[in-house]
């Protein structure tokens, strides 16, 4: 185990795993939020708070593909600089996605989502080439 290190890409898995929480906190930032009934609160939200909740949900949905792609690339010893760059791009694109969602820029949000998914797929391709 001595030769392994935590790479930038692996740190990005942590960052991506934590990314939903600031959006969740933003969605809950209201005197109306009731922690005993959060689903009822979210069913009644609208505007940027509702979109922040949707960012949170989408962040959870996109995480498994990204995390598994980084881990596979790491295990198969793909080009680490490329894996790091793709992982950093994914996290940046997810931030852009979330911010675009909050301010209701649907087309740019969709493009950021698509580019983020492409980063995850590219990590798998990178791993396949190394195998």
Greatest Cα-to-Cα distance within the chain, rounded to the nearest angstrom? 53
Question: What domains can you pick out in the chain, each with its CATH number?
Answer: 8-130 (1.20.120.550)
Question: 57 to each of 3, 78, 101, 122, how far by Cα in Å?
Answer: 37, 30, 12, 23
pLDDT for 93 equals 98
Q: What is the mean pLDDT of the chain?
A: 94
Q: pLDDT tens digits for 67-95?
A: 999 999 999 977 899 999 999 999 999 99
Q: Over pLDDT 90: what percentage of the chain?
A: 86
pLDDT for 5 equals 83
Question: Any residues with CB less than 8 A from the CB of 92 and at least 6 apart, and which?
Answer: none
């Amino acid at each position: 185990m001595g030769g392994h290190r935590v790479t930038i890409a692996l740190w990005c898995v942590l960052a991506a795993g934590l990314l939903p929480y600031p959006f969740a906190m933003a969605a809950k930032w209201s005197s109306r939020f009731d922690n005993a009934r959060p689903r009822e609160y979210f069913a009644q939200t609208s505007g940027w708070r509702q979109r922040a909740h949707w960012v949170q949900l989408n962040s959870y949905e996109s995480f498994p593909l990204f995390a598994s792609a980084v881990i596979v690339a790491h295990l198969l010893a793909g080009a680490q600089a490329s894996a790091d760059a793709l992982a950093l791009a994914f996290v940046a694109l997810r931030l852009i996605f979330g911010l675009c969602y909050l301010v209701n820029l649907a087309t740019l949000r969709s493009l950021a989502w698509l580019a983020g998914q492409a980063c995850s797929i590219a990590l798998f391709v990178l791993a396949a080439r190394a195998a």
